[in-house]
Amino acid sequence: MYVEKRQRLSVYRDLIIEIVSIGFICFVSLLLVSISSFFEIMLFFAIGFIAFGLLEYFIHRFVFHLRIKKEPYRKWVYDIHGVHHKYPSDQRFYKTSIYLKIALVLAINIIGYSTGGGHGLIFSSGFGSGYAFYLFVHYIVHHYNAPKNSLKFFWVYHEIHHHINPKNAYGVSNPFWDMVFQTYPRGQEFTMANRSLKNHLK
């Protein structure tokens, strides 16, 4: 019980770091550049958010699910992602290095500012928001029962990828890029996933 609590705190810590970082980035962005309109701010933020979704899709599909049997790549993929498919609700595999998290946030912000000034930082905040949303969605669909409302879609969608068809539903935080690249699940897969979810109630 103590270990489980510590593991949950690790995930919450990651989310807090993301939220604080995003708020700080937005504040600094407004100080560094004169942005003419709220629409402009939201536009660059949205582009960053969507860009993370694209990166999430490509890494999940073309890195974590690439069929290569040669070592050490096969072992690396298993340690990073394959073990999660084998033990999807095991919280030991949600632990993220806080130092890596900070380094990634700093790197994204530096790249954003060096390439686009304040606009680039706002893009970075949208990108970071996409990552924070991904962390949140991925965690709750594996550790909490699905709600009885439209948000259940996230549970069903990820259930398809884990237990129905791993070649579909690569997007965890949203299905947009699955639609674009034709890996969106078929209707029958949604029906099967709804039934499968009942067997995974906690």
Q: Which amino acid is at 200?
A: H
Indicate whether 51 pLDDT > 80: yes
Average pLDDT of 148-168? 91
For residue 193, is pLDDT > 50? yes
Q: Which strand (E) or helix (H) includes residue 137? A: helix 98-143
Q: Identify the CA nearest to 57 among candidates 168, 163, 146.
A: 168
> Does pLDDT of 136 surpass 50?
yes
**The residue type at 150:** S
Neighbours of 174 (CB within 10 A): 20
For residue 7, what pLDDT is reported? 47
Q: What is the mean pLDDT of residues 7-23?
A: 62
In this predicted structure, what is the pLDDT of residue 29? 62
Q: Quick one: CA torsion of 146, 147, 153, 155, rounded to 10 degrees?
A: -10
Question: In whole angstroms, what is the distance from residue 176 CA to residue 171 CA?
Answer: 8
Cα separation of 63 and 15, whole Å? 24
Chain segment 70-108, per-residue pLDDT in tens: 777 677 776 777 777 777 776 665 555 556 666 777 787
Highest mean pLDDT among 15-24, 118-127, 155-164: 155-164
Residue 72 CB neighbour total at 10 angstroms: 8
- Residue 20 structure tokens: 């604080």
- Residue 96, by phi and psi: left (phi above 0), alpha (psi -120 to 50) or beta? beta
Give the mean pLDDT of 108-133: 82
